[in-house]
Structure 1
Amino acid sequence: MTTHAGGCRCGAIRFEAKAEPIHISYCHCGDCRRASGAPVSAFVGFRADDVAFSGEAASTYGAAPITRSFCGRCGSPIAYADDRLAGQIYMMLGAMDAPEHYPPRVHGYVREQLAFFHIDDGLPRMETITVPRSQGAQL
């Protein structure tokens, strides 16, 4: 069984997933840009039950239905969870120990992509979400 591990910059928070990722994507939305401080974010999604955290507890913020976590010591973004995606957690690609092992498979929220930022990788490009939310949920 493969273990997928990561953590924050200072090492106060660590995590491991004992199952394969369920989703890997880029997100170009303004909310993810602000949360990461980068022109695009990338995420590795797992079933929440397959992820175990160790070390310090992450700090959280956000407005329902989104909760984002980060290290309260070094400020590194760790993950986000969406109430409409029950049982799933999306780790920041940059928090993974070996991010090169998780090439994104799709671009999300390209309608909000910065005009000067282009990744010409041939991946599918979604105008909005890349993972369907529960019935009736909208972003």
Structure 2
Amino acid sequence: MTGPHAGGCRCGAVRFEASAEPHHVSYCHCGDCRRASGAPVSAFVGFPVDKVMFTGKSLKMYENGPVTRSFCGICGSPIAYVDDRLEDDIYFMLGAMDMPAAFTPTQHAYVGEQLPFLHMSDDLPRHLKTSVTRPDGTVP
């Protein structure tokens, strides 16, 4: 992969570009991601937040504890999330990327919340909770 990596919402009112390579690509099975995306599983691409630029004026935010999710205020497309505990990173919805096939997930997070009818037959590492190590070295 070579940057920049771009994406945006369904209607085009929100666009973003990352000028770095992703540091994290994973599936998430948590209930919060299910509700935010409307899908049984989500996939995210993580970048350093200081290497990302947004354009457009429709980006809206929803805060829930330490997590702030962004979406387009016009078409409602989910865009990304940031976590106060991971202040240097931003995680984009894989489906918001212009070329989502370029980002292959490498692990599963929150498999303890995975829906029982969802079967993903791969050999990727599976984490009961988050797949992202916190700055203090812990994985909650």
Q: TM-score range by the shorter chain?
A: over 0.9
Q: CA deviation at 1:87?
A: 1.1
The TM-score normalised by the length of structure 1 is 0.95
In structure 1, how many angstroms separate the alpha carbons of the residues matched to 2:30 and 2:47?
21
Q: CA deviation at 1:56?
A: 1.6
Tell me the SS of whatever aligns to 1:9.
coil
- In structure 1, the gaps of 5 or more residues are none
In structure 1, how many angstroms separate the alpha carbons of the residues matched to 2:38 and 2:77?
11
In structure 1, how many angstroms separate the alpha carbons of the residues matched to 2:72 and 2:37?
13
1:96 matches 2:93: no
In structure 2, how many angstroms separate the alpha carbons of the residues matched to 1:86 and 1:128?
19
Could you say which residue in structure 2 is the equivalent of 1:30? 31
Could you say which residue in structure 1 is the equivalent of 2:106? 105
1:17 matches 2:23: no
Q: CA deviation at 1:75?
A: 0.1
Amino acid at match of 1:56: K
**C-alpha contact (below 8 Å) 2:133/2:139 kept by paired residues:** no
In structure 2, how many angstroms separate the alpha carbons of the residues matched to 1:134 and 1:23?
15
Could you say which residue in structure 2 is the equivalent of 1:49? 50
Could you say which residue in structure 1 is the equivalent of 2:120? 119
Amino acid at match of 2:107: V
Tell me the SS of whatever aligns to 1:126.
coil
Amino acid at match of 1:59: K
In structure 2, how many angstroms separate the alpha carbons of the residues matched to 1:25 and 1:138?
15
Aligned length in residues:
139
Q: CA deviation at 1:33?
A: 0.4
Q: CA deviation at 1:66?
A: 0.3
The TM-score normalised by the length of structure 2 is 0.94
Cα deviations across residues 80-111 of structure 1 (Å, max 9, x unaligned)?
Answer: 00000011000000000000000100000000
**C-alpha contact (below 8 Å) 2:60/2:70 kept by paired residues:** yes
In structure 2, how many angstroms separate the alpha carbons of the residues matched to 1:110 and 1:70?
25
